[in-house]
Structure 1
């Protein structure tokens, strides 16, 4: 028995060394970084991009560089709640006040409560919530869980296929390995036609994380309850808790988090003096720093 445990421990150490070696290889391939790109590219971040590309350093580098370019233009870390608050008025998407059994942040989505028509702003709202969920991940956690309630959903409230594809591309390409699991709770039969098209855009890893749950299907219900405590889970998802979305209270929490976000990314002054979609010309750009360790 000791021999088996020893081998297992040895294998784990080898896996950790290989993973660390891959991270260092990716660091070296990326070259010197500065500012927010440097802050973004933590070891944990690099691991996620490597996982998303099955350890291929070249593909991971290409993916990560595309994200850094996207973040420098889209500026997800500079979206403030007041810019997207109208999207949250009905509670169609928000961060839950509970975690899953693994302690992960939970996002609740209720597409049947769609209240706007501007697709670009709907996507900005979701990106904002992704950034906020990441900000609120417990220490040691890299992923979140999604709960999607289809009450009231119809083809008239669904986003156009083109927009769904754009949203999926952003989530898959720029937030790799952030999703642990997504539970689609009791979707109507008509959703199947929409899903047949949308699932084409999902990569295999993401597709495996999407779980359909039907109240009459014991196996799917048990799977969901293996991730969530029924006392925390809202009744809309087959649990015992009452789901109450208070837009004013949620807005207060988001504005508090906006301050944390600004402090984290070093943009407190800009946050206090108004939002900007471009970096200030007076902003001092730090010297690029290499992520790779010095050669021994």
Structure 2
């Protein structure tokens, strides 16, 4: 996993963490450091379908076989189809689905859409503990990966649950959540603007009658697992003396789908990020990666923390 750190600290990745913290370098550095420590301990890239297949039996979370009009991956979630009681198992499956969706993103994409179907949902469908942990993982370990979260046909009783959940969400995440109702023409426009209706599942107002097929989905996930394993192995065998210097500029800020800093955050003139390769970091255990802003170097990663 250490060999993958340079990729995790890539230009695009650092940019996401900076945007998530409104371009505050120190906060972004702390966030990235904690995320890397989590990945070293949790090892999300090693989770395989056979480890979580029992969690997927009801189709409570799966990657759709269609994209939105912007070419972004779509994760379908049905919290009313919860079939297990282990919070650890549920979170592990969520992480697996996130890793799989990210792995399948097009080269020019870094975000995904969540379609949350409330069919069969009751107050007993989801625990507060799992909801809090889901928000924590999404916001702290996968920052700026969510483009839009659509809550489709939530029942009226969900309003009470939403009041409890909302404090767990950061303002930027909260603004990405949209409520859509099948009997509301105005909210349905969100779906027609976002999806090709012939591809969208009928459960979300589309014209595609196909639903979740566990056997077909299992085969697709096993194929992806093989690709993921090959990718991880190739990264671990990669030898590089020094990665090139990355820079996060205002041009990149403008090119991201939601990259404009909020009005109360200052946009940096330039943020340069220098990332050492895994081998060099091993040879120099006391070295630091830095984010340099306006000529001032700030510590980003102390490799001793990952020993």
The TM-score with structure 2 as length reference comes to: 0.76
- Equivalent position SS for 1:157: coil
Question: CA shift at 1:287, angstroms?
Answer: 2.9
In structure 1, C-alpha distance between the alignment counterparts of 2:291 and 2:86, rounded to whole Å:
46
- Equivalent position SS for 1:266: helix
In structure 2, C-alpha distance between the alignment counterparts of 1:167 and 1:42, rounded to whole Å:
25
Listed as ranges, the gaps of 5+ residues in structure 2 are 237-277, 283-287, 296-307
In structure 2, C-alpha distance between the alignment counterparts of 1:208 and 1:152, rounded to whole Å:
26
> Could you tell me which residue of structure 2 aligns to residue 117 of structure 1?
85
Structure 1 residues 174-253: aligned runs within 5 Å:
174-253=141-220
Find out whether 1:142 has 2:135 as its counterpart.
no
2:3 to 14, 30, 35: 35
Structure 1 residues 1-296: aligned runs within 5 Å:
35-158=3-126, 160-266=127-233, 286-288=279-281
Q: Deviations over 1:213-266 (max 9, x none)?
A: 011222211022211111111111111111321111111111111111122222
The question of whether the paired residues in 1 share the 8 Å contact of 2:152 and 2:181 is answered with yes
Larger proportion of helix: 1
Listed as ranges, the gaps of 5+ residues in structure 1 are 1-32, 270-284
Question: CA shift at 1:293, angstroms?
Answer: 10
Question: CA shift at 1:106, angstroms?
Answer: 0.4
The question of whether the paired residues in 2 share the 8 Å contact of 1:34 and 1:287 is answered with no
Question: CA shift at 1:65, angstroms?
Answer: 0.2
In structure 2, C-alpha distance between the alignment counterparts of 1:61 and 1:53, rounded to whole Å:
9
Q: Deviations over 1:146-165 (max 9, x none)?
A: 1111111111222x112211
Quick one: structure 1 residues 64 and 293, their matched pair in 2 at CA, closer, same or farther if it must change by over 3 Å?
closer
- Equivalent position SS for 1:288: helix
Q: Deviations over 1:43-97 (max 9, x none)?
A: 1101100110111111100000000000011111111110000010111110000
- Equivalent position SS for 1:63: helix
In structure 2, C-alpha distance between the alignment counterparts of 1:150 and 1:92, rounded to whole Å:
11
The question of whether the paired residues in 1 share the 8 Å contact of 2:3 and 2:235 is answered with no
The question of whether the paired residues in 2 share the 8 Å contact of 1:262 and 1:268 is answered with no
The TM-score with structure 1 as length reference comes to: 0.79
Q: CA RMSD in A?
A: 2.2
In structure 2, C-alpha distance between the alignment counterparts of 1:292 and 1:193, rounded to whole Å:
44
Question: CA shift at 1:166, angstroms?
Answer: 1.2
